[in-house]
Amino acid sequence: MTIDGHPYRTVWLEHDAVCLLDQHALPFAVEVLRLHTYAEVAAAIRTMRVRGAPAIGATAAFGLALAAQSAPEDNFLATVRAADQCLRATRPTAQDLFHALDRVGHAMTAATDISAARVAAVAAAQQFAEDNVAACRAIGEHGATLLRDGMTVLTHCNAGWLAMVDWGTALAPLYVAARRGLRLHVLVDETRPRCQGARLTAWELQHEGIAAEIIADNAAGHFLHTGAVDLCIVGADRVAVNGDVANKIGTYEKAVVAHENGIPFYVAAPASTFDHACPTGAAIPIEERDQDEVLAIEGLLADGTRAAVRIAPPGARARNPAFDVTPARYITGWITAQGISTIAPTIAPTIKP
């Protein structure tokens, strides 16, 4: 990704810090957050200064590698275990989190001594990030074959650069196609309550020079029903063996309406998002976040200061599931680094992390 002429990744490791683009500051400011302890890394994931399944995974992997660098020799194992548990407890739905921590953990277990374990942890975390970039680029190439000049694509939440290490999943096909000269138009669901669509996807598309319009979440059905949308592409937080997909709350209803109106609905995800131990979507844990995310909305005041504004009456209560599950029957195809599959049960066993 390039922001104002400067190349960035969403998250990266420096010698004493995990660095990331602070998604609380976006789209109003580009700020780099430097995190020096695994506890700070865990807090950044929990509070969604970094979010999106693979970006969470890469951040956690770097956080565990950071913990391994600073863990004292006489308490190495206990310190690294505590870091692993702390990072695992941040967000329950995104499969990449567990996959990435497993990879770093296995690399350390295979090392012969503490100093080799420190080196292995960094190498495994870096490899997870590199694999994600390569997978997303491949997803972009495969997904671009679905796109034609002049198409309108609907997407939900943010599954672009900022949800990965680079490129994105749902947005990568658009980026590849646009760089080849296709003129595309994107309808961006605002994605209440945290507005990842309005804040992050719209901002990314501006930087990629792709025409986009933000729509209220409630408007998607109207546009799907009135012929305004050619194709839907979304990302995934976890894909079950039968092809069911957990993704940002609201994905399910978009998929049902797309199906009802005969509009293709694709899910784009790297191998690290597939959970081979999860038979169906019913087994995917769904995160429920603080009700204040629904009761208030954050933004920029006229004087340029950021503020949260309450939008519900005092005493009102809210429910805030962060994800829902879209059954495989509503999904036209799964775009992966290996290609596009239209048959759910066959893809999971063939896509090994």
User: CA-CA distance, 67 to 16, in Å (whole number)?
Assistant: 10
Beta strands of the chain (E only): which ranges? 2-3, 6-7, 11-14, 17-21, 32-35, 152-155, 185-189, 211-215, 231-234, 238-239, 245-248, 265-268, 296-300, 306-310, 323-326, 333-336, 339-341
Peptide bond before residue 193 is cis, with ω within 30 degrees of 0: yes
Among 13, 87, 157, 229, binds ligand MRU (CB under 6 A): 157
Q: Measured at CB, which residue is nearest to ligand MRU?
A: 235
Query: In angstroms, what is the minimal distance from the CB of 111 to ligand MRU?
Result: 30
Q: Which amino acid is at 328?
A: A
Among 13, 38, 42, 51, binds ligand MRU (CB under 6 A): 51
Binding to ligand MRU in span 78-107, by CB under 6 A: none
Q: Using CB under 6 A, which of the segments 61-69, 156-164, 219-227, 277-285 binds ligand MRU?
A: 156-164
Which one is catalytic: 237, 244, 275, 324? Answer: 237
- 275 noted as active-site residue: no
Binding to ligand MRU in span 195-224, by CB under 6 A: 196
Which residue, 122 or 176, is less far from ligand MRU as judged by CB?
176
∠ CA 343-346-350, rounded to 5°: 135
Calculate the dihedral angle through the C-alpha atoms of 65, 67, 69, 70, rounding to the nearest 10 degrees.
Answer: 170
Q: Using CB under 6 A, which of the segments 45-53, 101-109, 178-186, 292-300 binds ligand MRU?
A: 45-53
Stated length of the chain: 353
Query: In angstroms, what is the minimal distance from the CB of 48 to ligand MRU?
Result: 6
Please work out the total of residues on this chain that contact ligand MRU, with binding judged by CB under 6 A: 15
Q: Give the list of residues 6+ apart from residue 308 with CB closer than 8 angstroms, or none.
A: 296, 297, 298
Site residues (CB under 6 A) for ligand MRU?
51-54, 157, 159, 163, 169, 196, 235-237, 247-248, 322
Catalytic residue IDs: 237
